[in-house]
Amino acid sequence: MSDGSSPPDGDLVAPTPKIPVPEEVRQAVRTLIRWAGDDPEREGLLDTPDRVARAWREYALGYEQDPSHHLSRTFDEVGGYDEIVLLKDIPFQSHCEHHMAPIIGKASIAYLPQDRVVGISKLARVLHGFARRLQVQERLTAQVADCIWTHLEPQGVAVVIEASHACMSARGVNTPGVMMTTSRMMGVFKRDERSRREVLALMGY
């Protein structure tokens, strides 16, 4: 039985407990509210510093986890299966490290097993473990692929991420609706063009 203090099985989407908020964090949010031109003492903003602080603890849960932990339990008996394993269109949220603005997108993660596989949900957990940090999409893509490559030792890994960036859509050039695509191919998916075409077709590209 869980006491509610931590997510079950490393789940990154469980509710954040009501942790104490340090006064310095509370004051930092108040300062930002004043800088934006509002009054942190008005009724609607009185509880905002605590809400923002706790929200950011949830946004940044990935710093408290080692995503590779999710790949530690593997299965050798796969009935002779030796084809691509793909988890497609996994939704995720992150925040860019330059403006701390939301990154919202989806990822497709595939690997070609060598002699063992991992529970399919663990691929999503690896993604969320790295996404719940301050990120750039290029690094996020590489971290997910490298983690699977290192800890599963497959014949190949392919990761493709599509995401929209609020730092571009809601400020700066103010260009909504634009998606950024990044990819990382490793092993057979990098070396062999036919294998690369196959996995991209399965992903829908």
Catalytic residue numbers, as ranges: 96-99, 137, 165, 167
Give Cα 191 distance to the centre of its chain. 27
DSSP string, 190-205: HH-HHHHHHHHHHHT-
Task: Give φ, ψ of 89 to 5 degrees.
Answer: 55, 50
Of the candidates 71, 68, 54, 58, the one whose C-alpha atom is nearest the C-alpha of residue 12 is 58
Cβ–Cβ < 8 Å for 29, 49: yes
The two beta strands, 180-187 and 156-165, are antiparallel
Cβ–Cβ < 8 Å for 127, 162: no
Report the C-alpha gap between 131 and 125 in whole angstroms: 10
Q: Which two tokens stand for residue 130?
A: 């790295």
